[in-house]
Amino acid sequence: MATVSFHLKDPKANKPTPVFILFNPHNGTPRVRIYTGEKILPAYWTGGNVQQALTKGRSINAELKRTHETLNASLTRMSKRLLAYWNEYRSQGKLPSDTQLREAVEPEAAPAAPAPAPCPLADLLAYKDRHARTRQPNTVKALGTLYNHLVRYEQLSGQALTYEGFTKNFGTISPLTFSTQPDYKTTVSPSSWLT
């Protein structure tokens, strides 16, 4: 039966040191050292049979306790995942390589959050704020006026501005048709914006 134990890279260090797994397959092959990506101050680590971060003691406040509980839970998950992977491979009559064992322990990457779509109005406002001190007051005022016109355009058209909507013909589109209700059409021309 394979065993998993946790150890510190430098147990006598004065700063947080990496925690690694020592995986012993007990089948005559050498033990495998697998780094977990976690670090802890050696003073807060319990060695021996326990092999986990301290969660009780006088020097452990509530925040440190939560951090250590999270670390212990993470190490337990890694241990279970590694043993499950080992048992699955062994049930197929194969021996996983060291690289495969390391990959089994690596935490699943969280899906990357999609980048927010660029917004012309927010970008224009940020541009105006960036140049408020370096440009002439009338230039900043003109940027503010442009921003106000684009906000009004968005309100009248009922659609948010996107960069895809900016073309060479953006300002030359004559009447703009938009719907305020499903069955009611209104035509707005650029000259009506001035009123």
Q: Do 100 and 9 share a structural domain?
A: yes
Number of domains in the chain: 2
Q: Do 62 and 136 share a structural domain?
A: no
Which domain range does residue 176 map to? 120-194
- Indicate the helix (H) or strand (E) that contains 147: helix 137-157
Which of 78, 105, 132 is the last residue in one of the domains? Answer: 105
Q: Spell out the residues 6+ positions from residue 177 whose beta carbon is closer than 8 angstroms to its own.
A: 185, 186, 187, 188
Q: Do 151 and 65 share a structural domain?
A: no
Q: Do 30 and 98 share a structural domain?
A: yes
Q: Do 149 and 92 share a structural domain?
A: no
What is the structure's pLDDT at 145? Answer: 92
What is the structure's pLDDT at 181? Answer: 44
Which residues of the chain are under the pLDDT cut of 50? 172-186
pTM over 0.75: no
Q: Do 99 and 148 share a structural domain?
A: no
The answer as to whether 144 is a domain residue is: yes
The answer as to whether 112 is a domain residue is: no
d(CA 190, CA 177): 11
The answer as to whether 181 is a domain residue is: yes
Distance of CA 175 to the CA centre of its chain: 44
- What tokens appear for 158 in the block? 């009922």
Q: Spell out the residues 6+ positions from residue 89 whose beta carbon is closer than 8 angstroms to its own.
A: 95, 96, 100
What is the structure's pLDDT at 142? Answer: 92
Check: CB of residue 153 under 8 Å from CB of residue 193. yes
Angle of CA points 87, 84, 67, to nearest 5°? 150
Q: Do 124 and 97 share a structural domain?
A: no
Q: Do 153 and 125 share a structural domain?
A: yes
What is the structure's pLDDT at 110? Answer: 53
The answer as to whether 115 is a domain residue is: no
